[in-house]
Structure 1
Amino acid sequence: MKGLQQFILNFLNRSGVYIFGATIISRLLSFSASWIALQLIPNKELGIVLFAFNIIGFIIPFGGLGLHQSLLRYGALLKTEEEKNSLFIYVLKNGTISSFFLVLLIIISSFLIPFQFVNTAYYVAFLSFVIIPQYLLSILKIQFRLKHNNKAFSYLEIVYNILLIISVSILSYLFNSKGYAIALFITPCLTILFFIKKLNIHHSKKIVLNFTNLAFWKYGFFASLAVSTTQFLFAIDILLIGYLLNNAEAVTQYKYISLIPFSLLLLSKTFITTDFVAFTEKIYDKNYINNYMKRYMLFFTFISFGIYGISFLFSKQLLFLLDASFTQYSDTFLILIVGICGILIFRGLYGNLLSSIGKVHINYYISSIALLLNIISNYYLIPKYGIKGAALTSAFIMWFTGIFSYVWFLVLYKKFNDVAYT
């Protein structure tokens, strides 16, 4: 228990409470911005913007060809402030150029694709510009984490979502759907202007780094592939329920029943966001990493038992808060809760530890295998069991990816040598 207390104390000392609070507040503010847009913009017009932005959402992780992911891992391994600042400048310059060419490619492609909704191509083309400020915002947040300034990272998250509410409210009121699209672009731009000076980076003091080679770029690209594949893995259930059952009501039911379970993932995300830089800095200290693994798994095992116990006792009451008709799906809800525990205990930690040792491509392979298994299983289980079948598949996939990540990390970490950059 002493080790568990130390684990929690370290989390608190790294301003973990700030990140947790910022995550909760940001979720609420983001939901409020979406609600405001829904009140101000006709559903049909808003739906076209959201459809276009969902397309861009899958591409955003590839902004800068994933160099922000490389910044996080390789930056954590650097020892001096000067080296970290030089890496930031490299990633800023090359990632911005890469993002610009990616935007051009999307703009050209958008007018060659026969979208089903009118004006979708124009919104996709315009919203593609969001990739550039979102990339810049990502490296800004990462640099704060590399400097162990988690408070600044947390403030940035909150300020971004406050600005989002303000810009969505004003611009949606004035220009409807066009205003909403503009708000999605200018919000990250304004946030960057507010926080960029806080980094105190001097371009004249940069030094040449010898590891910004093909392996550096490859790491970022595979990390982005893993993120996109994981996003699609979470979205595929909704798509297949709609396709296989041809029932819009079933899609809505599953979407809202899964809302609480998937929201619980922020617990693991908060700890990893807080600790990633710290355990990557000490990734070559096997004693430290082994202790961190034991304490993390013990902590989230307790948390998982608590979550399942509360969910088992109050599943119907929790679903009633969403809609009285959802209480009949308490079994589906509990199945998803069991699945989430697999991510909390295993996947959240070991997926990131694989990234820490430079094996991020393993995450992509695991997500790709899981995606294939998900599709195959859902084609059998959804027609037979409905949304419960989708929940069974998701729960299995969550535990499968978690345990697979755990096994792969243990195997690879034994072979891990003391070469600083792989």
Structure 2
Amino acid sequence: MKSLQEFLQNFFKNKGQYVFFSLLIAKICGFISSIAVVRMLPQSDFGIMTIVASVFAVFVTFSGFGSAQGFLRFGAIAEQAEEKEKLHQHFFLQGFLYHLILSVLFILSSFFFVQKYGDVLLIFIFFTIRLIGFYFFNHIQSYFRVYHDNKNFARVNNVVNVFGLILIIILTYFFGLKGYLLAISLAPFLSLFWFFKYKILNFKRTKLQKKELWSYSFHAVFTAFLSDLLFSLDILLLGFLLNENAVADYKVAIILPSNLTFLAVSMLQADFPKIAKNAHNQLFVKDYISNYYKIFIPICLVIFGISFFFAKEILTLFFSSQYAPETQVFLILVITFLMNMLFRNLFGNLLSAVGEMKKNTIISIFSLIVLGISAFILVPKFQILGMGISVFLAMTFSGFLGMFFFWKYFKKLA
């Protein structure tokens, strides 16, 4: 994999384009649904729903206590199909029990918000149903990735996201917030079709060495939790320090920038099994990083140029003139997520693929500390602009720290 041409040929040979376009479709669907919800729901309903969605984003990272991540990592490096199947049955069954406990904790967390937001309990109930559905959705995705079946990975992803979008638009239009909640709770259960089609559901217990498997899984899920908390803590802190209207304004400013990372994530997800298998090959790792930058540095420069010159027009076009004044926050967040693509996404995924999950946990902990401290200092003075700066500091710090840890790992391969 010495040249960029060979790098891209390997990507297409691995059918990475299916992963890319399925994640692109998912981002487009998420983006369209966000715009539709912004336009169809009152600002107060949208603000409250966003707060609950931020809590959900924290809990969903604990899905099965990392069972899907553990299966993806160890299933990818397993040589025999029989071994892969044993791993899947073990992770699926044990993880589902953990996930039920998680769902109970999520609904109980609603009582922290009931006093301030009266109708929040109903929203939490629908999001709890969605949380359970996501367990099946995540596992079927990992299953197809382990078996390098990127076509079926794309199919299940596309069906859940496209039909989910259709449900959201129709039900929100006719029934408002309740219709939206019904749509998002039903969508992930569409993935059950593939469970029954491929007879993946199997309740036979298997005996495996659990310590190593779940040690990685717990670190993976805890790191994912801390990482997603970084994306949710900004919303939660704004809800605490300011109000739901500020949350709505900030959410609109971050929707587009946060979706930019799908470009990097899609490639890294498609290549994850290949990276895991070549974790100790220094030449492979070096060439992978080099070719990754050949692709994404020019992409980031183009995106920044468009955003810099047309920020106000972009916000007005996709949302409304009501949100056009938030151009400063928008630009800061664009820069933040472009830096995220170049550092945090790349080195975080590389550390995960090579088994260095503990390093990712350390990075996420320090990033949260940076976000929390800077937010309490900057938000009271600069409002949502202060939160944008805080997110930039936290995510840029995590990207450079990830690069530092991976460089230490890379030198050991020599």
Structure 1 spans left out of the alignment, 5+ residues? 418-422
User: Does the 8 Å contact 1:96/1:132 carry over to 2?
Assistant: no
Do structure 1's residue 228 and structure 2's residue 206 form an aligned pair? no
Name the residue aligned to 1:381: 378
Query: Quick check: 358-367 or 374-383, which moved more?
Result: 374-383
Structure 1 segment 119-134 matched on structure 2, within 5 A: 120-121=120-121, 123-125=123-125, 127-134=127-134
Moved more, 147-156 or 357-366: 357-366
By how many angstroms is 1:401 displaced?
A: 0.8
What is the CA-CA distance between 1:281 and the residue it aligns to?
Answer: 1.7
Distance 2:349 2:276 in 1: 9
Which of 1 and 2 has greater Rg?
A: 1
Going from structure 1 to structure 2, the CA distance change for 1:250 and 1:176 (only over 3 Å counts) comes to closer
Give the Å deviation of 1:296.
Answer: 1.1
Q: Counterparts of 1:34-45 in structure 2 under 5 Å?
A: none
| Cα pair 1:363 1:405 within 8 Å, conserved | yes
Alignment partner of 1:407 is 2:404: yes
- Structure 2: 5+ residue runs without aligned partners? none
The superposition leaves residues 309-331 of structure 1 with CA deviations (integer Å, 9 ceiling, x where unpaired) of: 33334334334424446555544
1:392 corresponds to which of 384, 389, 392: 389
Partner of 2:186: 186
| 1:338 equivalenced with 2:331 (yes/no) | no
Say which SS state the counterpart of residue 258 (structure 1) adopts. helix
TM-score, normalised with respect to structure 2: 0.85
Question: Does the CA-based 8 Å contact 1:82-1:206 persist in structure 2?
Answer: no
Q: CA deviation at 1:160?
A: 0.7
Bigger drift between 359-368 and 407-416 goes to 407-416
For the residue of structure 2 that corresponds to 1:284, the secondary structure is coil
Alignment partner for residue 285 of structure 1, among 281, 284, 292? Answer: 281
Give the aligned partner of residue 149 of structure 2.
Answer: 149
Counterpart in the other structure of 2:348: 351
Does residue 303 in structure 1 map to residue 299 in structure 2?
Answer: yes
Displacement of 1:362 after TM fit? Answer: 1.9
Q: 2:311 matched to 1:315?
A: yes
Contact 2:47/2:244 (8 A) holds in 1: no
> C-alpha separation between the residues in 1 aligned to 2:291 and 2:174?
52
Which letter maps to 1:5?
Q
Which moves more between the two structures, 399-408 or 121-130? 121-130
RMSD: 3.5
* Structure 1 residues 355 and 320: CA distance shift in structure 2, 3 A: same
The whole-number CA distance in structure 1 between the counterparts of 2:244 and 2:110 is 27
1:109-149 deviation per Cα after TM superposition (whole angstroms, max 9, x unaligned) = 65798543445445535643433331121011011111111
- Aligned residues with identical type, % of pairs: 31
* More moved, 77-86 vs 182-191: 182-191
Change (3 A) 1:331 1:281: same
Contact conserved, 1:85 with 1:201, CA < 8 A, in 2?
Answer: no
Structure 1 residue identity aligned to 2:10: N
Normalised to the residue count of structure 1, the TM-score between the two structures is: 0.83
**Could you tell me how far 1:349 is from its partner in structure 2?**
1.2
Contact 2:312 2:327 in 1 (8 A): yes
